[in-house]
A = this chain, B = another copy of it.
Amino acid sequence: MNKRKTISIKDVAKESGSSLTTVSLVLNERDHRISPATRERVLETAHRLGYRPNRLAQGLQSRRSSLIAIMVPQLRHAFADVYFGELISAIHDCANRSGYKILLEVAHPEFVRNRLYLELFDRNFVDGLLCLGVTNKDIYLRDLAEAGHAMIVVNNYLPAQKLNFVRCDYLDAGRIAADYLLGLGHRRIGLIHGAPEVQTSLDLRKGFQQALTAGDVKLPESCVEDGLYTEEGGEAAARRLIERQPQITAILAGNDKMAIGAVTGLKDLGKRVPEDVSVIGCDDIHPAGYCDPPLTTVHTPIYELGRRACERLLELIEGRVDQVREVHPVNMTVRKSACPPRPR
């Protein structure tokens, strides 16, 4: 295939009657010493010939790949997840604006075992790495930090390690949700959290519990369930919760998918949402506004977060900063899935 001989800077030089250096200088606007006449001639020739600098050669020279990798966990359909998808979109948009492209990686067991995440940098594949869906078990990320590679954990963090991160304040998310439910008058409240190996999940629970305690409401172990961050998990968790504690009038779910699943589960049990049981989610993914009832949820600025993470990564790459530790505020988005409990 591909018949058209690829045209190089050498062709432009020959055709425009100047040297390689001159062409390079003009094209990179490196030096303003070049005479306007030459400049014009080179530019015209380059354009006429349809010259495109070879990125591999440029990269070899500059030691830059202009690529950043996004690493997602190996979940079924990680790429089909709305939450990851919004982050990926944000990162892509931001990276593109700065001339970077996006490489996709899945942290499958072999990738981790063979330390292929290091190879990504060692082989000059990418200039930086953004890690999504990180858990406390992903201690191998320390290798990256130790090697001094540009890496940021997106919307999470590892408590015991000083890895770069850009995330939301899930401790506050828990508090806000609790205060909102308390404010509505709820006293019997349940929690469906994500995975216990995810730090933000632990934070959410902690903040939730603290605020409930401050409001003189207890959150016993029997009112907490694991929803695995999935719809199906949320649905099953809601069932278990209500069967065990039928007097519960409100539930906080650690993400919107679980909340949506919980609503399904509650409806199946014959409960109306929010009249019988209020449900609030967390994250405010796009579908949260389009389910039935529209979900009241703790809004986390997902797109903004992705954009910021990418921006900061570029700063790391370019050496403009050497540490990133960013926590973004969250707030309630009130829709229709929560209301005061019925008077007893």
* Inter-chain contact B104/A290, CB cutoff 8 Å: no
Alpha-carbon distance between A60 and B76 when the two chains are bound, in angstroms? 36
**A85 within 8 Å of B (CB atoms):** yes
Find A57's partner among B60, B77, B105, B121 (CB 8 Å cutoff): B60
Chain B residues whose CB sits within 8 angstroms of the CB of A268 once the complex forms: 292
Min CB distance, A232 to chain B, in Å? 6
Report the Cα distance A175→B161, complex, angstroms.
Answer: 58
Most buried by B among A55, A65, A79, A231: A79
Q: Choose one: B1, B106, B286; the contact of A322 (CB below 8 Å).
A: B1
B102 touches A104 (CB 8 A): yes
A78 contacts chain B at the CB level, 8 A cutoff: yes
**A1–B150 touching, CB < 8 Å:** yes
A103:B101 contact, CB within 8 angstroms = yes
Contact partner of A123 (CB less than 8 A), chosen from B54, B84, B85, B89, is B54
Q: How far is the CB of A127 from chain B (nearest CB, A)?
A: 10
Query: Which of B52, B104, B292, B316 meets A101, CB within 8 Å?
Result: B104
Q: Are A119 and B232 in contact, with the CB atoms below 8 A?
A: no
Given contact pairs A52-B123, A77-B86, A101-B104, A316 touches B147 in the complex (Cβ within 8 A): no
Contact (Cβ within 8 A) B124 A56: yes
- From A2-10, A29-37, A331-339, give the one contacting chain B: A2-10
Is the pair A89, B60 in contact by a Cβ cutoff of 8 Å? no
* Per-residue interface assignment for chain A, residues 38 to 75, with 1 indicating a CB less than 8 Å from any chain B CB and 0 otherwise: 00000000000010111111011000010100000000
State the CA gap A110–B57 with chains docked (Å): 26
A82 to chain B, nearest CB (A): 4
Q: Which residues of A (218-275) have their CB < 8 Å from a CB of B?
A: 231-232, 264, 268
Find chain B residues with CB under 8 A from A102 CB. 103-104
A180 contacts chain B at the CB level, 8 A cutoff: no
Interface size on A, residues (CB 8 A): 60
- A54 to chain B: which residues have CB within 8 Å? 60, 123-124
Q: A60-B60, A125-B55 are in contact. Are A89 and B77 (CB under 8 A)?
A: yes
A78's closest neighbor in chain B, by CB? B89
Q: Which of B1, B101, B147 contacts A125 (CB 8 A)?
A: B101
A149 x B89 contact (CB < 8 A): no
Closest partner residue, chain B, to A6 (CB atom): B122
**Whole-angstrom distance between the Cβ of A312 and the nearest chain B Cβ:** 14
Whether the pair A56, B53 counts as a contact (CB closer than 8 A) is no
Contact with B along A122-152 (1 / 0, CB 8 A): 1111000000000000000000000111100
* B residues less than 8 Å from A148 (CB atoms): 1-4
Instruction: For A86, list chain B residues within 8 Å (CB).
Output: 77, 79-80
**List of B residues within 8 angstroms of A285 by Cβ:** 80
Closest chain-B Cβ to A49's Cβ sits at a distance in Å of 11
Chain B residues, Cβ within 8 Å of A124? 6, 54-56
14 contacts between A and B (CB under 8 A): A3-B148, A52-B122, A56-B65, A57-B60, A76-B286, A79-B88, A80-B84, A80-B285, A80-B286, A81-B85, A85-B85, A88-B104, A101-B104, A102-B103
10 residue pairs, one from A and one from B, having the closest CB atoms: A80-B85, A1-B148, A52-B122, A79-B85, A2-B148, A80-B82, A56-B59, A102-B104, A79-B88, A56-B60
